[in-house]
């Protein structure tokens, strides 16, 4: 009996111990589960608030923050800065690297690299974090210090010119220093206020080559050319240089000012290769001197300068400009339109000549315009009977019409030649009128104030174009 009771008592104790153990195990499991759940929450919050993870998560959205950049230079816009950032990161592998020496408590700093090249600085800032264990975290703040602003430009300009970059006026006091003085630039006619000083402009920190415009004091745009100085490209005003080879006695005007009156522009004087030997043989007798040409050179001209050449009488001469040699010269292909006084003389002598050869004038009419001991005197002398037999036909009247002049060459004050084409109308009878086309080149020389016929020649027939 006693043993049976003892056995039952031990069994109860055993069940109680098992129940206690089971309860302990259950409590342990529950506690462990709660611990692991809480620990996992902690780890999650920890990971979410780590800067390395936050920065990695920000990378894909950084390009959407391009509008945060502000242009550091006054000649470019914030939009230019945004475009620069997008171009530097387009299609590139982006990475953020932490700067070691930075205040990570308040404003952590990371460097943004694109394919290993620095692009910008990325800042983060503290923020509240609604976590169970962690109450503070970081979030993206801004982008700054954009790379790529390493383009520089240099200009060398006259002090009375203005420089515009991307449409904005460049402040001379801020961006220039005096380079040197150009002594002879003061003669540039359309820049009379220029003090001779050349200013050197240096503008750096640009992201790209700017659109540059230079204007003079009149507001006229000046041409820019690039020159290399000590390995550096410098843009300067592309002034023109022009030379003029004109008959001595002619005047050259630049923008209305006569440069021939200023000896500083004179280069040389040389004997002309015209006229030919048929005229040169009269040198010293009927020609006082051979014609000469004078050369003048002018520097520092703008594209819009106006050059005018006039003869001794003020008539505007037709001229042409050779781009290769940069020389102006008087052209003689066509008369310039100012017919006096040369064409009056030619018209008179040509009519007298035609009247003489057709016997509407006698030798005493034309001889006052001839010089003895000249070839033309011998040819027209009726004693030699060299001209009139070939031209004369019986007629009752005549007239001259349709005068055209060309090929004017003024060699000197006392020598010129000019071509004349005209129609000599011969009225043979009241019902018979003949038209003869005449074409001659006349050389005239002046002696004691009077013009004489020194030589003449027949011109070829005009070709039909």
> Where residue 191 falls among pLDDT bands split at 50, 70, 90?
very low
In the predicted model, what is the mean pLDDT of residues 289-296? 78
> Where residue 334 falls among pLDDT bands split at 50, 70, 90?
very low
pLDDT given at position 421: 93
- One-character DSSP codes across 297-310: EEEEE-TT--EEEE
pLDDT given at position 83: 92
Is pLDDT at 305 greater than 50 in this prediction?
yes
Weakest mean pLDDT among 31-40, 220-229, 257-266: 31-40
pLDDT given at position 259: 84
Is pLDDT at 6 greater than 80 in this prediction?
no
Is pLDDT at 332 greater than 50 in this prediction?
yes
Share of the chain above pLDDT 90, in %: 18
Is pLDDT at 62 greater than 50 in this prediction?
yes
CA distances to 200, 346, 375, 422 from 233, rounded to whole Å, are 12, 59, 66, 61
Is pLDDT at 348 greater than 90 in this prediction?
yes
Are 166 and 211 contacting, i.e. CB atoms less than 8 angstroms apart?
Answer: yes
Q: What is the value of pTM for the model shown? A: 0.52
> Where residue 383 falls among pLDDT bands split at 50, 70, 90?
confident
pLDDT given at position 129: 76
Using N-to-C axis directions, what is the helix angle for 2-48 and 51-58, rounded to 10°?
Answer: 50
DSSP state of 60: G
Is pLDDT at 465 greater than 50 in this prediction?
no
Closest to 158 measured CA to CA, from 212, 217, 213, 203: 217
> What domains are defined for the chain?
51-144 (no CATH), 151-238 (no CATH), 241-330 (no CATH), 342-458 (3.10.450.50)
Is pLDDT at 186 greater than 50 in this prediction?
no
């Amino acid at each position: 009996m006693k043993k049976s009771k003892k056995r039952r008592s031990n069994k109860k104790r055993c069940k109680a111990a098992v129940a206690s153990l089971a309860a302990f195990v259950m409590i342990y499991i529950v506690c462990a589960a709660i611990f692991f759940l809480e620990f996992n929450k902690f780890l999650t919050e920890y990971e979410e608030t780590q800067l390395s993870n936050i920065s990695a998560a920000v990378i894909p959205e950084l390009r959407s923050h391009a509008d945060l950049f502000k242009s550091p230079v006054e000649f470019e816009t914030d939009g230019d800065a945004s475009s620069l950032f997008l171009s530097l990161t387009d299609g590139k592998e982006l990475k953020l690297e932490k700067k070691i020496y930075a205040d990570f408590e308040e404003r952590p700093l990371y460097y943004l690299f694109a394919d290993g090249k620095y692009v910008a600085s990325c800042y983060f800032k503290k923020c509240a974090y609604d976590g169970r264990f962690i109450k503070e975290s970081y979030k993206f703040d801004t982008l700054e210090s954009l790379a790529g602003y390493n383009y520089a430009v240099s200009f060398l300009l006259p002090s009375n010119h203005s420089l515009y970059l991307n449409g904005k006026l460049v402040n001379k006091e801020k961006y220039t220093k005096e380079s040197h003085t150009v002594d002879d630039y003061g003669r540039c006619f359309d820049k009379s206020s220029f003090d001779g000083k050349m200013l050197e402009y240096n503008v750096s920190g640009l992201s790209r080559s700017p659109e540059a415009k230079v204007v003079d004091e009149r507001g006229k745009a000046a041409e820019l050319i690039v020159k290399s100085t000590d390995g550096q490209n410098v843009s300067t005003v592309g002034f023109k240089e022009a030379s003029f080879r004109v008959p001595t006695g002619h005047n050259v005007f630049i923008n209305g000012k006569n440069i021939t009156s200023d000896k500083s522009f004179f280069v040389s004087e040389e004997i002309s290769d015209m006229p030919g030997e048929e005229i040169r043989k009269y040198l010293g007798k009927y020609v006082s001197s051979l014609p000469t040409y004078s050369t003048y050179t002018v520097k520092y001209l703008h594209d819009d300068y106006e050059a005018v050449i006039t003869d001794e009488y003020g008539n505007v001469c037709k001229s042409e400009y050779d781009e290769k040699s940069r020389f102006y010269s008087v052209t003689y292909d066509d008369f310039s339109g100012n017919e006096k006084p040369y064409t009056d003389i030619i018209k008179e002598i040509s009519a007298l000549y035609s009247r003489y050869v057709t016997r509407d004038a006698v030798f005493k009419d034309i001889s006052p315009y001839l010089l003895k001991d000249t070839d033309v005197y011998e040819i027209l002398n009726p004693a030699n009977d060299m001209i009139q037999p070939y031209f004369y036909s019986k007629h009752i009247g005549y007239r001259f019409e349709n005068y055209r002049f060309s090929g004017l060459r003024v060699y000197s004050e006392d020598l010129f030649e000019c071509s004349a084409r005209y129609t000599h109308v011969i009225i043979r009878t009241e019902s018979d009128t003949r038209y003869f086309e005449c074409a001659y080149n006349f050389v005239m020389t002046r002696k004691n104030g009077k013009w004489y016929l020194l030589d003449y020649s027949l011109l070829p027939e005009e070709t039909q174009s």
